[in-house]
Structure 1
């Protein structure tokens, strides 16, 4: 049944959500605010690792001999490549071993990758370290979603994810400022030491305060048959597959923005050391949207908000191109903010809702499904960002154009996903 504004939250089957019983008892010992903060810290390591290094791009390029924007973008894309691969590993194993063990393994690999980047003597060695960082941080990034799905479903999960994503965005919004400060005090390599320190804090916090949410009687052995059946479920359940792909097309332009923001603000607009503040301004729009979404989703529902945000994203990006046409697609900075702040607000609404919609009907295989959703959407986003990165010319043409194209494609994907979902529900009802 399609969700309508004002409708009551749908109730998921007990066998799939397990919001009661052992999992809830063990996890809900944590106060609500502490639970949200811990989830946000561990999930934000990925965004923090992306954003805090941005102010050091020019210094890294000069020191390691790769100053071209297309080369420096690899510092971001290789990290996301590791993230995409890693999610396929941790998700299934968290279904078998439990959520906490999978997260701990990821944090150890993440620390090794940061150590390698810290001591790197060549650009290639730095990229290997960045790949390992992505491979490691995929653990907390994907398993945290499965952990939350162990406890919540539907709009309740969307509400929790909105709080988490709000903190998830606000922390990295300050990351460039933090990275620039650390770089000025102790050099760009010391940024990686900060990542090691934060991951250690998160790991210890998880170890001593958060209990396991997946009890032994609900664990699924990792075998070829279980992997195959879980993968088939993930790719044949309409909401999971459709919103998995939709999330990738929404994340693609945003990933392009992350990889070009330093050049856009520091080179095109000449902001220099003020870059972190310009970056934080747009990031705050995403964070604000995530917090407001936690209230809006309980009233209007995820599907309605996702469609409205997609229309808004396409509209704002189109207006940005129209009003910057006469200035060679380099609008005054104030005008860029006029259009991009509401655009990024729409992105904030989409992030939490699309991922929650993808996980709504796959609670019985939350680890594997979360891995596939995260990995497939990241690979799609990385392909879009990489391709459009070569088109990027220092203006907003490639950036706004990608938001328009991907927004329209996502609207089509959502339309057919909902039709497929309705047809499948009708067929299952007739079968019963």
Structure 2
């Protein structure tokens, strides 16, 4: 039987996508501990995030076209098996180099979550209904970042950071079980596209040459570069600079998750009542306010957790609005190559995260300086891209 209900698509897609942030937020409280255990630098610790993002972004470009050829379910099973392998490598890592390898393999496998969930939605839903399903996926996605930092802190209190990777492996095995027994294929055999280099590159060229695809994808990339930029910075500011314990850090992160949940609830309520362009406008206003907050509040109140978490929360509220709207807009006209379109939107999103975390870890002398400069710049660039897109559509 082909196809799934909206609820089943949202649950399975949401859990697949949640694996990506699980591998970040469960792990983030341990970054200073990992740096200390391996006797390395903060920059090297941040590079474990960068390696993960690089593999995550690039592997999507393979995963999407493979799913256009072999179907969403089979490719999902293969890639999440790779994710489990990477998690086990991380769990046994005796050195920073092996940890880099584990994070790379993890990122390669988990790329299926973003690419395939979006393709599964586009296979079955369009327009406002697609935005509603993508918003449901985002709501499910928020549960993992809410729980994972606290769980990671508890694991650190009870044992080693290596055990975090065993938890990740268990989550990957649960996704494999869900795909095996709970998922149905959404791509009919007659709609499948051959997996040949000429066709794959041709499809990507078609997508990249279309402004209707490119501008929403750039919005995704920029907003997520900001999100992953401060994700890489906050553990070092709160734990190293301000002296918070990993558990206190996890509690502070609840403000981020709460804002994202509130934004998703608001998006779900408004998606059937206002046009998608209005949702993007709300997101842009939020990003402007957040960017100003990042530039001003941490400077005025250098030892205040609230001064940092307020702009973080406002950014997450805006991200909840822009993510489903921009994703649906980018994929709307490309149902015949939904796997490639989902992969390329994911590449922009995760590639933005890669660029954001890399810039945060390498371009600035310390984490606090990066936070107060990088985030306002990203907010300004995002607004600039959105205004250019609106000018083009007139």
TM-score w.r.t. structure 2 length?
0.93
Q: Would the alpha carbon gap of residues 319 and 56 (structure 1) be closer, same or farther in structure 2, given more than 3 Å must change?
A: closer
1-structure distance, mates of 2:32, 2:297: 30
**2:32 touches 2:42 (CA, 8 Å); kept in 1?**
no
1-structure distance, mates of 2:32, 2:378: 30
Name the structure 2 match of 1:254.
227
**In the TM superposition, what is the alpha-carbon distance from 1:397 to its structure 2 partner?**
4.3
**In the TM superposition, what is the alpha-carbon distance from 1:320 to its structure 2 partner?**
4.3
- Matched position secondary structure for 1:205: helix
Is 1:286–2:290 an aligned residue pair? no
**In the TM superposition, what is the alpha-carbon distance from 1:321 to its structure 2 partner?**
2.6
Q: Would the alpha carbon gap of residues 338 and 379 (structure 1) be closer, same or farther in structure 2, given more than 3 Å must change?
A: closer
**In the TM superposition, what is the alpha-carbon distance from 1:393 to its structure 2 partner?**
5.2
1-structure distance, mates of 2:297, 2:176: 47
- Matched position secondary structure for 1:299: coil
Can you give the 5+ residue segments of structure 1 that lack an aligned partner in the other structure?
Answer: 1-21, 423-432
Q: How many residues align?
A: 393
Q: Would the alpha carbon gap of residues 265 and 89 (structure 1) be closer, same or farther in structure 2, given more than 3 Å must change?
A: same
Moved more, 378-387 or 286-295: 378-387
1-structure distance, mates of 2:9, 2:201: 33
**1:265 touches 1:278 (CA, 8 Å); kept in 2?**
no
- Matched position secondary structure for 1:300: coil
Is 1:27–2:4 an aligned residue pair? yes
Deviations 1:221-279 (A, max 9, x none): 11233223311221122121111122111111111111112112212332213111111
2-structure distance, mates of 1:331, 1:62: 24
2-structure distance, mates of 1:307, 1:405: 18
Deviations 1:140-175 (A, max 9, x none): 221111111111112211111111112212312221
**In the TM superposition, what is the alpha-carbon distance from 1:72 to its structure 2 partner?**
0.9
Q: Would the alpha carbon gap of residues 323 and 133 (structure 1) be closer, same or farther in structure 2, given more than 3 Å must change?
A: closer
User: Quick one: which of 342, 357, 369 aligns to 1:370?
Assistant: 342
Name the structure 1 match of 2:285.
311
2-structure distance, mates of 1:319, 1:198: 36
Name the structure 2 match of 1:126.
99
- Matched position secondary structure for 2:271: helix
Q: Would the alpha carbon gap of residues 59 and 156 (structure 1) be closer, same or farther in structure 2, given more than 3 Å must change?
A: same
User: Quick one: which of 177, 187, 193 aligns to 2:166?
Assistant: 193
**1:318 touches 1:400 (CA, 8 Å); kept in 2?**
no
RMSD over aligned Cα, in angstroms?
Answer: 2.0
**1:158 touches 1:352 (CA, 8 Å); kept in 2?**
yes
1-structure distance, mates of 2:292, 2:336: 41
Can you give the 5+ residue segments of structure 2 that lack an aligned partner in the other structure?
Answer: none
User: Quick one: which of 13, 16, 19 aligns to 1:39?
Assistant: 13
**1:246 touches 1:413 (CA, 8 Å); kept in 2?**
yes
User: Quick one: which of 239, 245, 248 aligns to 1:274?
Assistant: 248
